Amino acid sequence: MKIRLGYVAISKTLNITTSHTITYTNYKKEKNKEEKLYEIIDKNLTNLEEILMYNIRNNIHFYRMSSAIFPLATHPDIEYNVLETFKKRLEKIGKVINNNKMRVDIHLDQFCVLNSVNKDVVNSTINIIKFYKNMLDTMKLKTYMIMHVGSNTFGKINSISRFINNFNRLEKDTRKMIVLENDDKIFNIKDVLYICKKTKIPMVLDYHHHKCNNDNIKLEEYLEEILKTWDITPKIHLSSPKNQKEFRTHNDYININDFVELETLLRKMNRDIDIMIEAKEKDNALFKLVRELKYKGYKFIDDTTIEIKFDK
């Protein structure tokens, strides 16, 4: 079995970002509003292209796009069809991704709360989901949007059924593009797995969140079921705590012990896995982990792919 490693949004090595933005307040002050927006988006897309080339050069097969490439794209008071304007560009980027068989996905922001008790929040969340679906469709990427279950208002049972109800309001094609992740405070792996089985949503396991929020539930007992929610290679998120006191906060790097713990469970599963490194040092953290794993004796097929022996 193989484990591939990926990273999120920013390359620290290249030192470029695809999240250049403008706030609504400053946007309103601009003389050439549209021009200003397009300039920012153009910069973001150029940097995205550069990051993708960097990923290809370094055999990184697995990457999460920023959700801030198109500033203000879903703002209620701004009318602009950004996806139409940048269609050619997005198609080209999509082609690069597909031609190189790279797995690229996206994570919805924290204010996308599908099960909110506030109707306006739900509606804007649905709008945002539609926007990203259109974006991914424009790029011709067969991939997913990752999100959390959301709010806990009126307790878990109510909150879970709110999620399922609102999820079912989405169109069928859109529903197929949603992936759920266990969070670090409320919805643990058991809760999320329950929803995922009911709705046929694939489940991303976040190992660090599980450590933060587990109610003494053992991952061993659920891991196989979690992986089964995927038709394709399952995806797992890995990060390390900043320190004991600020446990929930992400560390700059990955503690190799966290990887080894997780990998020890995974090697009993006999499935290829994609592990996304979520560390503040981004690709640097990924490569640091790779160096340490090699030193420890892990066998690598290429720069970021580990060969693991199935171990019952």
Partner DNA sequence: CGTGGTCAAGCGGTA
Partner DNA sequence: TACCGCTTGACCACG
Kindly identify the residues of this chain, within the stretch 53-82, that bind DNA according to CB under 7 A: 64-68, 71-76
Q: Choose one: 19-27, 93-101, 165-173, 297-305; the region binding DNA (CB under 7 A).
A: 19-27
- Asked if residue 150 binds DNA (CB under 7 A), the reply is yes
- Asked if residue 248 binds DNA (CB under 7 A), the reply is yes
Q: How far is CA 146 from the centre of its chain?
A: 5
- Asked if residue 6 binds DNA (CB under 7 A), the reply is no
Q: Are 201 and 170 in contact (CB under 8 A)?
A: no
Q: Of 118 and 168, which CB lies nearer to DNA in the complex structure?
A: 118
- Asked if residue 19 binds DNA (CB under 7 A), the reply is yes
Kindly identify the residues of this chain, within the stretch 202-231, that bind DNA according to CB under 7 A: none
Kindly identify the residues of this chain, within the stretch 89-108, that bind DNA according to CB under 7 A: 106-107
Nearest to 125 by CA among 187, 74, 179: 74
Nearest to 233 by CA among 270, 266, 202, 272: 272
Q: How many residues bind DNA (CB under 7 A)?
A: 50
Kindly identify the residues of this chain, within the stretch 155-194, that bind DNA according to CB under 7 A: 185-186
- The residue within the footprint of DNA, chosen from 32, 110, 243, 257 (CB under 7 A), is 110
Q: Choose one: 134-142, 195-203, 247-255, 292-300; the region binding DNA (CB under 7 A).
A: 247-255
- Asked if residue 34 binds DNA (CB under 7 A), the reply is no
- The residue within the footprint of DNA, chosen from 128, 129, 145, 178 (CB under 7 A), is 128
Q: Choose one: 5-13, 90-98, 227-235, 300-308; the region binding DNA (CB under 7 A).
A: 5-13
- The residue within the footprint of DNA, chosen from 3, 5, 9, 52 (CB under 7 A), is 9
Task: Give the interface with DNA as residue ranges (CB under 7 A).
Answer: 8-10, 17, 19-27, 40, 64-68, 71-76, 106-107, 109-111, 113, 116-118, 121, 124, 128, 150-153, 185-186, 242, 246, 248-250, 278, 280
